[in-house]
Amino acid sequence: MKSTETVIWQDWDLSQIINGEEIMSPSPKSFHQIASRNLHRILDRYVVEQDLGEMLAAPLDVIFEDDYNRLQPDLIFIAKRQKNIIQDWIRGVPDMVVEIVSKSTVKMDTVVKKEIYERYGVQEYWLLKPEKRILEIYTLTDERYKLHASFGEDDVVSSPLFHDLAFKLNIIF
């Protein structure tokens, strides 16, 4: 292949449909990918050891029932009781999603996508902010997200969804 040829990816798409509008995103930067990988390892090991379901990572579409929103969270947890939503993509509401926030995605992750996950009933929403070394965990209470806790890098993370899970946030970075 000549260096001037263009490679077209047909099976891997960084676009999302957010409130009916297709949004293209650049690929994540390395610090984002490292944090994602490290958090995925911790959560996946816990989910497998506890036999809770499936822990999945982006890029993977989550398609909500009306196809008006087709999001690609960074990490996705599907409890065993609803493994049927794992199909070609995720077709339904995950139990938990993680978004890793960067400077270019602050509003999208902390406002727009948070509202969408809340509206569809995702039970836990984690916002990991690597540049600030903070993790916020929101839980759905009376159909609204409430901040469960905000963890700094020296704090031990705990989650209502994952009862016995505990790790120091700094190992993510």
Mean pLDDT value of segment 60-80: 91
Sign of CA dihedral 23, 27, 32, 35: positive
Domains, the chain, with CATH or none: 52-171 (3.90.1570.10)
127 CB neighbour count, 10 Å cutoff: 21
In whole angstroms, give the CA distance from residue 79 to residue 94: 8
Residue with the bigger pLDDT between 66 and 158: it is 158
13 pLDDT more than 90: no
Tell me the pTM. Answer: 0.87
- DSSP-H helix ranges across the chain: 30-50, 106-107, 113-120
* 10 has pLDDT over 60: no
Task: Return d(Cα 119, Cα 109) in angstroms, integer.
Answer: 14
Per-residue tokens: 111: 């406002």
Instruction: Report whether 170 contacts 133 (CB < 8 A).
Output: yes
